[in-house]
């Protein structure tokens, strides 16, 4: 039946032992050292295997460049807006997919040029002696390393290890994947430099660079990558505005190959300059295209009128006919030119109105100056409309925000509405001017009708010819102006510093960070292990653990036995271990004196479970009593699992069991040992009923007979936590020693001992801590002779303790 005292296991909840934890950490210094060695080794291997990461930069400025040939008569230029708008737009374009597609396609950066390094493939773009011109319309082997080995300066060998029966192909002209069948073997073939390679999976021509250096016998690798994946990688280009100068942008790239990054940075800016200049020239380009289409029709009309004039002059005295008609001809020509100019303006406005109402792309509008329109409102608004339309189309691939596109659309609608109002007011004014000119032409024509018929005919033909010639000349002049403006336009984007490899630029790998991380992990991992051990390990570690768990006195601490036999005290009587047992002997004598015992004294030694060192302690406590010339006997009362016979090299044929069954007398079971004054009584053969034998009356007779002969009787009993045999011997013993073994005995066992003492099952109990070692590891300085360090020199005979360095040096020397 359970006693209320059995629940005392829930008592004495101890707080965290920080000092013990620190001492335990110090005890595992070898684990920390090993962990640091491993972590630093891993960090070193990672560092030497990582490719170096570089950062390349370029600086550009954005400044509105005015055209030196721009006049009110050559309104053929538009700007992107203010500087801040340009900076924002340029930043977006540089990171857009469409822009980077153009740059990657131009540089063919989807082709990797590689060389085998010590640990991995290395990007050697810019350092290889060759380049490949691919046929973009034909498929190329995708994602597979193609070995190129130069057998001579003019001949190379291709090797491709095909693993499967089909391979993936990619056609760069339309960005389409396909596949083809191959033999799953290594493909090997030789080609001449400059020879066309036409294979189902490879189509290129290999060319040698200028100044290639020595490359015979060297092996390189080429790999074709996915176009979209390559573009996505370069869209991460860094674009940052200068804090002090908002019109300056810094472009940066990070990677393993400096030559490739330098080429890309400079090329992306050059592509941006071209795009911006093309946009800036869009007005002039539209005007030139419009004039060219008009000139074709004008040339035909002028030729036809010229032929008509030639036919009229044939066989006629043209000078006589022309007499008197010159003043009419010049006058009416001025009126016709004025009428044509007004008509062209009206036609332009009609065309512009239809274009605005029926189209959403306004980037193709010609300049108003083509029709002689110089109204600043119309010119400015058309320029803005073209700029917005062009910018919107360029952002289509870079921006996914509907709000931004709606803002553009709203701005263009507002400008379009303003233009439609300008067109309406301008047309009404032009219609009035046209009516006035028509009246003037009518008056002139009525005067001409009074002239002779041939003269009228000549004036009519010359009128048509002079008007066509005048218009043609005017358009040619406008076209020349547009060409001049286009040629003299300057981009708003300028290099401040082009990207250039001037050495340096290394930003990674961060080897110091890896070593710091190695130091951190090298300490943290064993620290966690020790922390887990400290909390999971529920065994007795030191004397303090015992004092926290129980009020039972601790009378001795015994160290580790480093000898091959359990007779440690007898083998080395001056050792620290021997002194520990002598200390226990002194404590026992005090206990016996306190109880005022005379004559023979008995001592029962037990523990909770097997393996805690009961027999070892029994032998050596008996030995120290015997060495003091006291007649001592050790009795093996562990009838179930006897060990004494092995320790003294005896045969366990006869012993206590034989006496208890009255088969042998006391003198027949006593064994002499090599230790003076020390006898041993073995347990004898294992009986079927050990408990019954121990509680028999013969056991009392046995103890009484022993007291007549010996001064000290040591009972080596079985563990009380496993069997009840030892409890039956309590009333025969004067003192009970309870053996606890460091890092072996559970703390709960001390609680069980407390309960047995409280219930009176054990009395006059003291505890001995056995197997104690390494004060740092287990956190204790308690012990007889333990923890005194150099102060114990000369008092004990101990083997010289070799340090870790000495041990390693000794092994190395061997």
- pTM, to two decimals: 0.57
Q: What is the DSSP letter of 559?
A: E
CA-to-CA separations, 612 to 93, 315, 617, 645, 744, in angstroms, rounded: 79, 146, 9, 18, 7
Q: Which two tokens stand for residue 813?
A: 């020397």
Identify the pLDDT of residue 119. 86
Lowest average pLDDT, out of 335-339, 514-518, 525-529, goes to: 335-339
Q: Is the peptide bond prior to 104 cis by the omega test (within 30 degrees of 0)?
A: no
Give the residue, 717 or 471, on which the prediction is more confident.
717
Asked whether the predicted pLDDT for residue 135 surpasses 50, the reply is yes
Closest Cα partner for 719 from 576, 609, 589? 609
Identify the pLDDT of residue 114. 96
Give residue for tokens 């004008």: 298
How many C-beta atoms surround the C-beta of residue 733 within 10 A? 24
Task: Report helix angle 258-280 to 282-313, nearest 10.
Answer: 50
Give the residue, 309 or 604, on which the prediction is more confident.
604
Average pLDDT estimate for 435-450: 70
Give residue for tokens 């009126």: 335
In angstroms, rounded to a whole number, what is the distance separating the alpha carbons of residues 687 and 699? 15
Identify the pLDDT of residue 487. 74
Q: Which two tokens stand for residue 99?
A: 């822009």
Identify the pLDDT of residue 460. 66
Which of the residue ranges 86-90, 209-213, 293-297 has the most confident prediction, judged by mean pLDDT? 209-213
In angstroms, rounded to a whole number, what is the distance separating the alpha carbons of residues 714 and 425? 130
Lowest average pLDDT, out of 475-489, 546-560, 678-692, goes to: 475-489
Average pLDDT estimate for 463-478: 72
CA-to-CA separations, 754 to 595, 716, 731, 735, 766, in angstroms, rounded: 21, 21, 18, 16, 11
8 Å CB contact between 554 and 771: no
Residues 280-318 as b or e (16 or more Cβ within 10 Å = b): bbbbbbbbbebbeebbeebeeebeebeeebeebeeeeee
Q: Which two tokens stand for residue 657?
A: 């069991």
Q: Please write the tens of the pLDDT for every residue from 492-508.
A: 888 999 999 988 888 87
Q: Which residues contact 263 (CB under 8 A, 6 or more apart)?
A: 107, 125, 126
Asked whether the predicted pLDDT for residue 66 surpasses 80, the reply is no
Give the residue, 536 or 550, on which the prediction is more confident.
550
Q: Please write the tens of the pLDDT for every residue from 319-367.
A: 544 555 555 566 666 777 777 778 778 877 887 788 788 877 776 677 6
Average pLDDT estimate for 530-548: 81
In angstroms, rounded to a whole number, what is the distance separating the alpha carbons of residues 687 and 640? 8
Identify the pLDDT of residue 631. 95
- For residue 316, name the pLDDT band (cuts at 50, 70, 90): low
Average per-residue pLDDT in the chain?
81
8 Å CB contact between 733 and 582: no
Identify the pLDDT of residue 807. 56
Task: Report helix angle 29-49 to 18-27, nearest 10.
Answer: 60
Average pLDDT estimate for 472-480: 76
Identify the pLDDT of residue 156. 96
8 Å CB contact between 138 and 196: no
Lowest average pLDDT, out of 31-40, 393-402, 591-600, goes to: 393-402
- For residue 793, name the pLDDT band (cuts at 50, 70, 90): very low
- For residue 784, name the pLDDT band (cuts at 50, 70, 90): very low
DSSP string, 48-62: HHSPPEEEEEEEEEE
Give the residue, 112 or 561, on which the prediction is more confident.
112
CATH topology for the 543-798 domain: Rossmann fold (3.40.50)
Distance of CA 230 to the CA centre of its chain: 20
Average pLDDT estimate for 16-36: 79
Give the side-chain half-sphere CA count within 13 A for 513: 4
Q: What HEC string does 675-714 produce?
A: CCCEEEECCCCCCCCHHHHHCCHHHHHHHHHHHCCCCEEE
What are the boundaries of each domain within the chain?
Answer: 4-9+18-50+509-536, 286-488, 543-798
Closest Cα partner for 584 from 607, 606, 570, 603? 603
CA-to-CA separations, 10 to 179, 184, 444, 536, 757, in angstroms, rounded: 74, 72, 129, 17, 17
Give the residue, 440 or 421, on which the prediction is more confident.
421
Identify the pLDDT of residue 803. 55
- Work out the burial of residue 219: count CB atoms within 10 Å of its CB; fewer than 13 is exposed, 13-18 middle, 19 or more buried: middle
Q: Please write the tens of the pLDDT for every residue from 682-708.
A: 988 988 888 888 888 898 999 999 999
Average pLDDT estimate for 617-621: 93
Identify the pLDDT of residue 792. 44
In angstroms, rounded to a whole number, what is the distance separating the alpha carbons of residues 46 and 39? 10
Asked whether the predicted pLDDT for residue 281 surpasses 80, the reply is no
Beta bridge partners of 189: 158
In angstroms, rounded to a whole number, what is the distance separating the alpha carbons of residues 185 and 181? 12
Asked whether the predicted pLDDT for residue 713 surpasses 90, the reply is yes
Asked whether the predicted pLDDT for residue 606 surpasses 80, the reply is yes
Average pLDDT estimate for 378-393: 76
Q: Between β-strands 735-741 and 601-607, what pairing exists: parallel, antiparallel or unpaired?
A: parallel
Q: Please write the tens of the pLDDT for every residue from 353-364.
A: 887 888 777 766
CA-to-CA separations, 430 to 108, 155, 334, in angstroms, rounded: 56, 76, 17
């Amino acid at each position: 039946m359970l006693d209320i005292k059995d629940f005392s296991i829930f008592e004495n909840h101890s707080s965290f032992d920080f000092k013990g934890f620190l001492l335990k950490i110090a005890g595992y210094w070898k684990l920390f050292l090993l962990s640091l060695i491993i972590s630093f080794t891993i960090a070193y291997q990672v560092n030497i295997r990582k490719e170096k990461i570089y950062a390349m930069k370029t600086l550009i400025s954005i400044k509105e460049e005015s055209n030196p040939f721009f006049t009110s008569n050559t309104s053929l230029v538009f700007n992107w807006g203010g500087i801040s708008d340009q900076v924002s737009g340029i930043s977006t374009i540089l990171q857009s997919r469409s822009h980077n597609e153009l740059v990657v396609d131009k540089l063919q950066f989807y082709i990797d040029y590689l060389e085998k390094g010590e640990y991995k493939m290395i990007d050697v773009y810019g350092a290889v002696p060759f380049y490949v011109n691919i046929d973009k319309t034909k498929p190329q082997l995708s994602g597979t390393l193609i070995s190129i080995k130069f057998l001579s300066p003019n001949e190379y060998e291709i090797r491709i290890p095909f693993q499967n029966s089909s391979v993936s192909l990619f056609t760069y002209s339309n960005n389409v994947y396909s596949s083809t069948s191959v033999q799953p073997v290594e493909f090997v073939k030789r080609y001449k430099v400059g020879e066309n390679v036409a294979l189902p999976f490879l189509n290129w021509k290999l060319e040698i660079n200028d100044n290639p250096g020595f490359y015979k016998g060297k092996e390189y690798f080429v790999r074709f990558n996915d176009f979209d994946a390559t573009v996505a990688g370069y869209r991460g280009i860094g674009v940052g505005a200068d804090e002090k100068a908002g019109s300056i942008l810094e472009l940066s790239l990070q990677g393993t190959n400096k030559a490739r990054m330098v080429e890309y940075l400079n090329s992306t800016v050059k592509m941006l300059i071209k795009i911006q200049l093309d946009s800036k020239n869009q007005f002039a380009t539209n005007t030139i295209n419009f004039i060219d289409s008009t000139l074709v029709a004008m040339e035909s009309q002028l030729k036809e009128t010229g032929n008509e004039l030639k036919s009229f002059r044939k066989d006629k005295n043209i000078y006589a006919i022309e007499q008197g008609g010159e003043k009419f001809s010049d006058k009416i020509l001025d009126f016709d030119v004025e009428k044509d100019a007004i008509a062209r303006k009206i036609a332009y406005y009609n065309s512009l109105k239809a274009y605005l109402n029926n189209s959403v792309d306004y980037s193709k509008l010609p300049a108003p100056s083509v029709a002689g329109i110089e109204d600043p409102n119309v010119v400015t608004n058309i320029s803005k409309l073209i700029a917005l339309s062009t910018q919107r189309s360029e952002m289509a691939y870079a921006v996914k925000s509907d709000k931004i596109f709606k803002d553009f659309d709203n701005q263009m609608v507002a400008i379009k509405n303003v233009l439609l109002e300008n067109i309406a007011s301008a047309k009404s004014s032009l219609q009035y001017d046209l009516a006035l000119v028509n009246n003037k032409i009518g008056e002139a024509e009525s005067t001409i009708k009074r002239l002779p018929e041939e003269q009228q005919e000549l004036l009519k033909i010359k009128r048509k010819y002079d008007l066509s010639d005048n218009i043609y000349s005017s358009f040619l002049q406008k076209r020349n102006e547009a060409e001049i403006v286009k040629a003299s336009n300057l981009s708003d984007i300028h290099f401040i510093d082009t990207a250039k490899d001037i050495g340096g630029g290394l930003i990674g790998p961060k080897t110091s960070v890896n070593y710091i991380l190695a130091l951190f992990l090298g300490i943290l991992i064993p620290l966690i292990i020790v922390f887990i051990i400290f909390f999971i390990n529920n065994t007795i570690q030191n004397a303090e653990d015992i004092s926290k768990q129980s009020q039972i006195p601790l009378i001795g601490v015994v160290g580790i036995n480093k000898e091959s036999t359990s007779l440690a005290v007898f083998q080395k009587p001056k050792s620290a271990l021997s002194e520990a047992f002598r200390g226990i002997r002194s404590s026992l004598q005090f206990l016996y004196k306190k109880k005022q015992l005379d004559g023979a004294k008995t001592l029962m030694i037990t523990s909770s479970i097997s393996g805690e060192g009961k027999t070892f302690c029994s032998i050596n406590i008996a030995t120290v009593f015997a060495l003091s010339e006291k007649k001592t006997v050790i009795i093996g009362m562990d009838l179930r699992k006897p060990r004494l016979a092995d320790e003294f090299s005896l045969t366990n044929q006869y012993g206590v069991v034989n006496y208890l069954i009255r088969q042998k007398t006391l003198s027949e079971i006593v064994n002499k040992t090599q230790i003076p004054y020390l006898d041993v009584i073995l347990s004898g053969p294992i009986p079927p009923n050990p408990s019954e034998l121990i509680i028999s009356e013969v056991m009392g007779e046995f103890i009484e007979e022993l007291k007549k002969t010996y001064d000290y009787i040591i009972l080596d009993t079985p563990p009380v936590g496993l069997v009840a045999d030892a409890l039956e011997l309590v009333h025969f013993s004067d003192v009970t020693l309870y053996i606890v073994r460091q890092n072996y005995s559970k703390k709960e066992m001390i609680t069980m001992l407390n309960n047995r003492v409280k219930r009176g099952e054990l009395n006059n109990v003291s505890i001995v801590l056995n197997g104690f070692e390494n004060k740092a590891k287990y956190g204790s300085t308690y012990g007889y002779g333990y923890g005194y360090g150099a102060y114990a020199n000369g008092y004990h005979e101990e083997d010289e303790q070799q340090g870790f360095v000495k041990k390693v040096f000794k092994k190395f020397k061997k």
